[in-house]
Amino acid sequence: MKITVLGTGAGARCHTARLTELGHQVVVGTRDPQATLARTEPDMMGTPPYQDFHAAHPGIELRTFAEAADDGDLVINGIDGANAVQALSAIPRAALAGKTLVDYAVPYVYQQPDQVERPWPTPWGVMPRLEPVDTDSLAEQIQRALPDTKVVKAFVTQEQETVTHPKEFADGDHTTLLAGDHTDAKNAAGELLRAYGWRDIVDLGPLAAARGMEMYAHLHTAIGLALGTRFGVKIIR
Q: Which secondary structure element, helix H or strand E, spans residue 103, and what is its range?
A: strand 100-103
Which of 52/171 has CB closer to its own copies?
171
For residues 31 and 79, what is the distance between their CA atoms, to the nearest angstrom? Answer: 10
208 lines the binding site for its own copies (CB under 8 A)? yes
200 lines the binding site for its own copies (CB under 8 A)? no
Stretch that binds its own copies, among 6-14, 48-56, 65-73, 129-137 (CB under 8 A): 129-137
Residues 65 and 92 sit within 8 Å (Cβ to Cβ): no
Residues 206 and 179 sit within 8 Å (Cβ to Cβ): yes
152 lines the binding site for its own copies (CB under 8 A)? no
Q: How many residues bind its own copies (CB under 8 A)?
A: 51
Which of 38/202 has CB closer to its own copies?
202
- Which alpha helices (DSSP H) does 84-206 contain, by range? 84-89, 93-96, 138-145, 160-164, 183-196
185 lines the binding site for its own copies (CB under 8 A)? no
233 lines the binding site for its own copies (CB under 8 A)? yes
* Nearest Cα to Cα of residue 130 among 150, 152, 149, 156: 156
| Residues facing 27 on adjacent strands | 4, 61
Answer for which of 177, 188, 192, 193 binds its own copies (CB under 8 A) is: 177
Strands 108-109 and 61-64, by their bridges, are unpaired
CB of 192 to its own copies, least distance (A): 19
Residue ranges binding its own copies (CB under 8 A): 116-121, 127, 129-130, 133-136, 140, 157, 169-170, 173-174, 177, 179, 202-206, 208-209, 211-213, 215-223, 225-227, 229, 231-237
